């Protein structure tokens, strides 16, 4: 049963990591590409780290906190780095894909016509 739980956690983590990597490769614009690594890949790596922590806790008989600290660091730094990259992209005027125009930009255009 123990191996099955670990296998399921690792497969879930691998799936989310794969989806995030594919999103990074396939999505057209910079802002859309930020979501792949910051959302899915973070969840995938976090799940794999939790599986690793469970394995080493059971194997050694003592609580393994290394993986939880790595996951905590990952969950804190990934959103912050994505936020900083998006702020820099906005500041330097990175072109957005037409499908990802802001609602505010479209609303301002409609207000100017009235």
Question: What is the set of domains in the chain, with CATH numbers?
Answer: 2-113 (1.10.287)
State percent of the chain over pLDDT 90.
30
Cα 110 to Cα 99: distance, rounded to the nearest angstrom: 17
**Any alpha helices (H) in 27-102, and if so which ranges?**
30-35, 42-60, 66-92
Once rounded to an integer, what is the mean pLDDT over residues 45-72? 90
The pLDDT value given to residue 104: 54
Please report where in the chains the tokens 């976090």 appear, as a residue.
46
- 5 falls in which pLDDT band (50, 70, 90)? very high
Q: What was the pLDDT predicted at 31?
A: 80
For the segment 72-108, what is each residue's pLDDT rounded down to a tens digit? Answer: 898 888 888 888 988 998 889 887 777 666 655 555 5
């Amino acid at each position: 049963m123990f191996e099955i739980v670990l296998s399921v956690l690792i497969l879930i983590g691998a799936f989310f990591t794969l989806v995030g990597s594919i999103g990074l490769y396939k999505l057209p614009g910079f802002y859309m590409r930020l979501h792949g690594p910051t959302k899915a890949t973070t969840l995938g790596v976090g799940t794999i780290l939790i599986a690793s922590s469970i394995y080493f806790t059971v194997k050694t008989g003592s609580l393994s906190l290394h993986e939880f600290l790595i996951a905590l660091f990952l969950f804190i730094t990934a959103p912050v780095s994505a936020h900083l990259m998006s702020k820099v992209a906005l500041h330097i005027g990175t072109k957005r894909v037409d499908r990802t125009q802001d609602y505010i930009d479209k609303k301002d255009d409609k207000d100017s016509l009235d």
